[in-house]
Structure 1
Amino acid sequence: MNNIVITRQNNRYLSVLFTEGRPSRMHCSPLLQEEGMLSQICLARVKDVIPAMKGAFLTVPEGRTVYLPLSESGDFLCANRSFSSLSELHQGDEIVVQITGEAVKTKPPLASAMPVLTGQYCVCSLFGHGIHVSRKLAPERQKELKTAIAEAGIEGRKNFQFTVRTNADTLKELTPLFQEMQEFICFFQELTEIYRHRSCPSCLYRPLPELIRQIQDIPLTAYEEIVTDEPEVWQLLKDTFPEKTVRLYQDPSLSLSRLYRLDFFLQEALSRKVWLPCGGYLVIEPTEAMVVIDVNSGKAVHKGRSSQDYYRKVNREAAAEIARQLQLRNYSGMIMVDFINMESEKDQKELLFLLDQLLKKDQVRTRLVDMTALGIVEITRKKINRPLFEEMQKNS
């Protein structure tokens, strides 16, 4: 059975998605009472505009500073005056923003002037129009969902932009999707009415806890059960995911962490070296600019097997493990992979095709760019959250 296991480790929650008995995703998140700013929608005051950076620093609640790129094009909400472009923003202006990125080292949190609400079945954008459906669904299903939404007669829908998530495909009846859309419409309608009358800075919207948002990003079809030993988390999960089995684990003789060997798997996910079944291994090195992965053949080639056959086997196993590790460790940006050199051009093309197919299964946008003249494979992966090792450092 595929399931999600959630337990407390020191001053954080550790959530692990197990797929066929192996962890395929791991996340650390703050305790419910220690939630951060990510995804909050605020009325913020412009503290300073830096033309050379094409950005502005804003003050949000609790006196914190966030950074807003002024390169965004589109509509926005300013409480104290009207103007047509963010490039006209002045010190003292009051603008509605959403926190879209966490602080990284010396950089402040990132903000956007185009708020979105993310639910279990859809994403609603304050600015924009139309219905979009996840491209991971079949074209026929995309068309069916668009038609069903158009025929549902949801009041106010045409004033906002919606993107239907893959989770909507699991619904036998689309009522939960329609209800979620209506809730988002009501919230944004109220937001556009009240933001001018709120004190600045102030918080206009607090999202669900990060732990819940992380689980919402996992397709409902990827797991059958959620298990936790935290009563408060158990109750919240039951309320948020009524269609799923949510079990409270209570056994004082054996902790949930030990039952699922979470310490072992966590240590494995943070290790530089990852062993392959054939005896080869990966060396994974995150750097400031990129993630570098080196594929090694390991011990001597087995007898009775040519070196090229063995290299082909190592590379194929490495491709599958790399696709898994990128999700497990949540690496993003540029990833450079040095596979073992193979003499056959046909073998190289087959390897790239295999890797490309594996990467397409990732819920996060991941793309195989090319193989360089030196035989290095370039991959890019969209940044969603911090990588696992940074989450561990942040919550340690």
Structure 2
Amino acid sequence: MNTTFSRTLLATSTLFISATSMAGGFQVNEHSATGLGRAFAGEAVIADNASVLSRNAAAMTMFDKDAISVGMTIVHPDVTVKNGTYYRPEVDVNKPIFGNITASTSYEAVSMNDVDGIAPTAVVPNFYYIHPINEKMAVGVSAYSNFGTGTEFKSNYEAPIFGGKTSVQSMNLGMSIAYRLNEHLSVGGGIDVIYGVGDLYRDIDVNVGASVGGAPVGNLVLKENALDVHATGVGLGANIGMVYEFDQKNRFGFSYKYSPEIEAEGDVYYAPSALTGKNSDKIYLPLPDIAEFSGFHMITDKTAIHYSIQWVGWSAFDTIETEYDTIKEYHWKDSYHYSIGATHYLNNKWILRTGYMYDQTPVDELTSISIPDSDRQWFSAGFTYNWSSNTAIDFGFTYLIGEDVEVHEFIEESLPAPAVTATTHANAVLAAIQLSHSF
């Protein structure tokens, strides 16, 4: 982007950009250490620190003091691509002893080496601040990430048109307000400025064989750049929410986030543009809306259970396009997360929590090795140490288990090559730390 606003936003938001997602699609769920420790169960209503801003602005009315939370999550993924076969395009050129040169096209099946470590370890930071104006109204600011993914294959990977580099990074800068309508019901909402960075790189290779009079004289694998994108963009999103408190022990929360389509500008090269003579400087990335319902219930004086159902509108992520061409089709489907957890208030110093999440993939019939995705299970635990009555240190841990996915990826469905078949699998270990303070 060339505007002064965009340059300023880039300078102030770099520390809050996330490049790794372990939720379905390329959604980033890792918004807090407390949330991670309970598998994000009850996030839209628990409000145990300022990080609730990432899920539901209406919950700010539950704070009677200024509150600040700052933290980070370390994501260590274990992503593998195995049992792969690459169907490489092949061109055979023949020069008869007498006659014209002829060429025929086919493909060859190339066995691929198993690869792992294609998704790097990443740090996902966050920051939240809530300021109660009076007993009925509060405002807040937040900086975190909702979307991001990153995989990078080595340059000698056997299927360069499907491997390469894929990086989508984003940062949400949020400004929110909440108002208590009565002793039971609060509402809230806000604006999200979403800054995104995208890097995509792919090569295409063709095996060219030559023969004279039917006798082979040699072959050569030609490789050329097919896609090279580096673009940045800014979009404006919004969110609304509500909290209903039956009493001090039981409450519900609901929130809805609107996510825009990011129009990113930069350097966009796509191989067909070499034929049309049109290089692009824009690329369009549609982002999904997100809705969440949460509940929280104190079942004893020291123990609570909590849960969430989250809907993510991934059907909006249909294609990635430039002004002139469709770069990639995805045709994802809407997905859901289901989580349940428990919190035990051990004493004045220690709070223990745990949780489980079933995370549904949005990937439908079109699978991909560059964004390996599957249904996932989250097994989480965490704790809070209350340093003082106003200061707490939070820790969260998750072991995430994915499933094997049989991938059949192609450039054009009607053509046998280029195409790839493989099995992908993704597990991860996540650890988070957070400092929360009220004053």
Normalised TM-score (structure 2): 0.22
Q: Which has the higher helix share?
A: 1
- Could you say which structure has the larger radius of gyration? 2
* Greater share of residues in strand: 2
